[in-house]
Structure 1
Amino acid sequence: MKNIFFTLFCCCFCNGIIWSQDHVEKNEPKQEPLFKNSLGEMKIKFDETGDKFLKFGVSSQVWFRSIENNPGTAVNGVPQDHTIDAGVRRVRITMQSQLSKGYSVFFQFGINNQSFISGGGSGTGANGQGKKPGMFFMDAYNELAIVPQTNFYTNETNKYNLYIGAGLHSWNGISRLSNASTTKLLTADLPVFNFPNIEISDQFSRQFGIFLRGNLDRINYRFSVNKPFATDRKPEVGEVPVENNGSGKLSYAGYAMYQFLDKESTTTSFLPGTYLGSKSIFNIGAGFYTNKEALLSQPEEGVFKTHDQLNLGIDAFVEVPIGAKEKEMSLSVYSVYYYNDFGKNNLRTNGIMNPGTADTNYTEPVAAEGFGNAKYLTGTGSIWYTQAGFVLPNFSKTVKLQPFAAYHYKDLDGLNQAAHFYDIGANLFVFSQNAKIAAQYSSRPLYDQTTKKVFDRKGEFILSFQVAL
């Protein structure tokens, strides 16, 4: 064992840890870093060409929040209309290794959603509610180059390439936002409905499966066949289906985009929400997810009926530099339309790191969504989402300011009134996207339990601190 550790130490020492400015695949045109002090990547090279390597990534997003709670909320058993919150939204460690041009492995592990009251065990003391969350793997897959992007022998770029991989993966269908890089978001956080199975039949948007991905010149594609995680919710008597995939059918997913301007690097599945003007992008895309017999209803007592799941998306992403080059201004716009079919009137609620539970002594009307910061996330029906950001004129060699706004429109069959959600905020970038401070205010509607119409609105302010290497 000592010899193994000694060999690894010597290998790392001799090769050195390279702080690389090259964020694109070999033989792709290099982009000059937007900021002169961009930190780059951590990579250990095992040969002179850099074809054999071990690359690491580390990221952390820490949140401080001010939450207007839904009516009838208690936090830690105490009634609260307003809660000051702190927590870790994401901590990730990634490892990507290639010891052959034709074969690579990718791992990502960490924690999500640990706050002062959620993420750990139950009770108090050393293993209390908010303490000691379990680390887990988000990605763990192998990948083989069938037709590599760079020819093994000539080192020329293949416009038509194909890779196949298997494992717990994030090469998702439906939309660009369903393949989002969480360290390069335009807004402070994702809207989450971009992952239709989040923590239901997937593990933080991942499923076990086999995927194909690559390029047909300017068309970038990804398709997968997966085994969804088991769900076993029991439906109440009525027509509304719930998540129960007891028959164990496979799921199928895919997404493809046409790249009119600059091509994007896709060595991993994650697509940025903004390049801060370092690329000129215009992409249109479409995707799908389908799973037979994914849901179950009980139309009559003791009579059960299965339902298929179908999710479709179509989107567009534009990022262009604006004005004089020395000003380094840019505009980023992304818009996506989703059609979701989870069966008649299916609704799903969600509250990110929700601190609230029911106040048992509260006697006034409560929201249909529940307590804390819960909202209607998705369900059968349509969702339209648009976000836009603008990088202000250059005023520093290391700092950039990017105001942004986002709008969500949800027309869900289980509600009697369409929902309008709003986000507005700004990103302060340091060393490109290696460090970011994001401030965002979000406004959400609340629905009456009986009428299923909006009766109130609540807000939430997020201050996010991010480091990503």
Structure 2
Amino acid sequence: MRTARYALAVSALLAAASASAQVQPPPAGGQPAPAPAPLNTPPPTPAPVEAVPYGAGMKVNISPDGSKYLRFISWHQVWTRYNENNEGSQRVPGKPQSNQLDFGLRRSRFLLLAQLNPRFLVLTHFGINNQNAVSGGAPNEPTGPGKKPGLFLHEATVEYKVNQYLNIGAGMHYQNGISRMTRASTLNFLAIDAPIVNWPTIDAIDQFARWLGVYAKGRVSKFDYAVSINDPFATNQLATPATIPTNVAQYNPRGTDKVYQGYFSYEFLDQEANLLPYAVGSYLGTKRVFNIGAGFLHNENAMFSRPGALPTPVPADPFATIPTRTHDLNVLSADVFFDTPLNKDAGTAFTAYGVYYKYDFGPNYVRNIGLLNPSAAGGSTPIPGAGPIRGNSFPVVGTGNAQYVQAGYLLPKNLLGTKARLQPYAAYLRGSYEGLRTNDGDRQGVHVFDAGANLLLDGHNAKLTLNYRARPDFTNPDNLDYKPEITLQTMVFL
């Protein structure tokens, strides 16, 4: 019992001491107790007043120092266009249409870049191009030619850095020869798009301006180079000596010789990045670049022609019995690129580019191309072997030469406030091809005029481009009729 009483007494004393420690009496003199300390709430985050620079984009570091990373890029270019069609064009078979307003996906792409370490690079690039309601769809889609376009590889390359002067790579690549514009990035064009003369073999012996092969690239001081050896894609497989026009070269269905190409440039001012093959179209005043370059493409026996008239009756094996000739495909180019800020306080800048191409596809070769063609049928065929003149197509490449120039001016940054910039531009394409003749035998030139403006909402990452084009309708080569084409492009890339 005595032990229990001692335990109760000790417990009571501990409880009293605890209460005395938690509830303090008021200070002497009747002063009130001090107020509790205020809660430390974080200040509100101020809203940004302008867009944060894009920087490296969607980049995921997979090593603490950032030497190993993944980078993702995705972009869409949507066209809203009014076009006056070439004579005799049909929107769909059986429906003649002289003009229309149409909508299309010029490009829809996804790119993945993986830097495994400073020496190894993996690039994967896929997407679709040129889909509208009448073209660009899956070839076997029974419900219409504009639906379900095939998602395909644009690039799939692996690359190894040998030393500071040399990288070697292999796969489906874009390390193209010929010109700077042949290696153009589609994310930062100055004009609304490329003139297509820069890709003279597009989707014939290449895969949408990409090649299967090996390449070497690098830089020595201010000299930059890229060379490659590639397999030509099999093309024109239904052609025989009996199906081609007399003395008009076409792609050789039996052409298997390697394609050799290269591009070399010298950088007089700021150096450009060359990790990837994509040449910038306009730096918007962030660099001073002055480059000159030259390039080539060579493919032996790429073309063939029939020099004589077609015999009658047509033999069962035309390749064995009808005389033909093969021709090498050769392209040479020289170009110059200039981009500079003018007034850094005002943010103005100037961009200019010019290129000369010399093409040799064999005798009288001409190819008509209509970019995102709004016409699926009709048209005429006044140029032997060139394909139909319908929709917005015209003679884009051929044996002969072509020149292309463009220039643009970035207006002051306070012109439209802090959220948008305006960059007007103009471009001109001239082609002279031996297969384009009037009835008198004179060579008929190709002239295409473009003028427009980029409304840069977040640099090249978000912009609107309005372009006016005047292009020739070659339905009657003796009397060219120039047709208007007005396009609004909406583009975002991240």
Report TM bin, short chain: 0.7 to 0.9
**What residue in structure 2 maps to residue 393 of structure 1?**
412
User: Within the alignment, does 1:192 sit opposite 2:196 as a pair?
Assistant: yes
1:446-461 → structure 2 map (5 Å cutoff): 446-449=473-476, 452-461=477-486
Q: What is the Cα deviation at residue 448 of structure 1?
A: 4.7
- Tell me which residue corresponds to 2:304: 296
2:368 alignment partner, SS class: strand
Aligned residue in 2 for 1:38: 53
Contact 2:389 2:475 in 1 (8 A): no
Shift of 1:294: 0.1
Which amino acid letter does the alignment assign opposite residue 96 of structure 2? P
Name the structure where strand makes up a greater proportion of residues. Answer: 1
Q: 1:280 pairs with 263, 276, 288, which one?
A: 288
Give the deviation of 1:326 after TM superposition: 1.3
Answering whether residue 97 of structure 2 is matched by residue 80 of structure 1, we say yes
Deviations 1:204-254 (A, max 9, x none): 001100000010110111000000101233342521110115141001000
* Equivalence for 2:491: 466
- The residue number in structure 1 matching 2:4 is none
Cα distance, 1:433–1:66 mapped onto 2, change above 3 Å: same
Partner residue in 2 for 1:68? 84
Shift of 1:446: 2.1
2:453 touches 2:467 (CA, 8 Å); kept in 1? yes
In the other structure, the counterpart of 1:445 is 472
Tell me, what secondary structure is at the counterpart of 1:240?
A: coil
Amino acid across the alignment from 1:319 = D
The structure whose Rg is larger is 2
Q: Which of 130, 136, 147 is the aligned partner of 1:119?
A: 136
The aligned amino acid for 1:399 is A
8 Å Cα contact 2:419/2:457 also seen in 1: yes
Q: Whole-Å Cα distance in 1 between the matches of residues 222 and 398 of structure 2?
A: 33
Counterpart of 1:347 in structure 2 is 366
| Corresponding residue of 2:28 | none
Matched residue SS, 1:178: helix
Aligned: 1:336 with 2:355: yes
2: CA distance between counterparts of 1:238 and 1:466? 45
Percentage of identical aligned residues = 39
The more displaced of 98-107 and 215-224 is 98-107
Q: Does 1:320 align with 2:340?
A: yes
Q: Which residue of 2 aligns with 1:164?
A: 168
What's the CA shift for 1:405? 0.3
Residues 102, 146 of structure 1: 8 Å contact kept: yes
**What TM-score do you get using the length of structure 2 for normalisation?**
0.81
Q: Return 5+ residue gaps in structure 2 as ranges.
A: 1-49, 311-321, 437-442
Q: Contact (CA 8 Å) 1:71, 1:367: kept in 2 or not?
A: no
After TM superposition, give the deviation of residue 398 of structure 1 in Å.
3.2
Deviation at 1:130, TM superposition (A): 1.6
Query: Which amino acid letter does the alignment assign opposite residue 37 of structure 1?
Result: V
- 1:119-143 CA-to-partner distances (Å, cap 9, x unmatched) read 2246988x43221111111000100
- CA displacement at 1:370 relative to structure 2: 1.2
Shift, 1:72, TM fit: 0.7
Quote the offset at 1:376 in angstroms: 0.6
Question: What is the alpha-carbon distance in structure 2 between the residues aligned to residue 250 and residue 94 of structure 1?
Answer: 28
| Distance in 2 between residues matched to 1:445 and 1:297, nearest whole Å | 28
In 2: Cα distance, 1:419 partner to 1:248 partner: 32
User: How far 1:263 moved relative to its partner?
Assistant: 0.3
Counterpart of 2:397, as a letter, is: T
SS of structure 2 residue aligned to 1:238: coil
- In the alignment, residue 174 of structure 1 is paired with which amino acid? I
- What TM-score do the two structures reach when normalised by structure 1? 0.85
The residue identity in structure 1 corresponding to 2:144 is G
- 1:7 is matched with none
C-alpha distance in structure 1 between counterparts of 2:161 and 2:155, whole Å: 19
What is the match of residue 406 of structure 1? 427
Q: Tell whether the 8 Å contact from 1:45 to 1:53 is kept in structure 2 after alignment.
A: yes
Q: Which of 91, 102, 113 is 1:96 aligned to?
A: 113
- Pairwise CA distance, 1:38: 2.7
1:16-53 CA-to-partner distances (Å, cap 9, x unmatched) read: xxxxxxxxxxxxxxxxxxx8533331111012221101
The amino acid that maps onto 1:353 is L
User: How many residues are paired up?
Assistant: 415
Kindly indicate whether residue 240 of structure 2 is the aligned counterpart of residue 234 of structure 1.
yes
- SS of 1:303 mapped into structure 2: coil
* Matched residue SS, 1:383: strand
Amino acid at match of 2:69: F
Aligned equivalents of 2:217, 2:479: Cα separation in 1: 43
Which aligned segments of 4 or more residues in structure 1 are displaced greater than 6 angstroms? 122-125
Contact 2:86 2:475 survives alignment (8 Å): no
Aligned pairs for 1:140-151 within 5 A: 140-148=156-164
From 308, 325, 328, the equivalent of 2:328 is 308
Q: How much has 1:355 moved relative to structure 2?
A: 2.3
1:173 to 170, 173, 177: 177
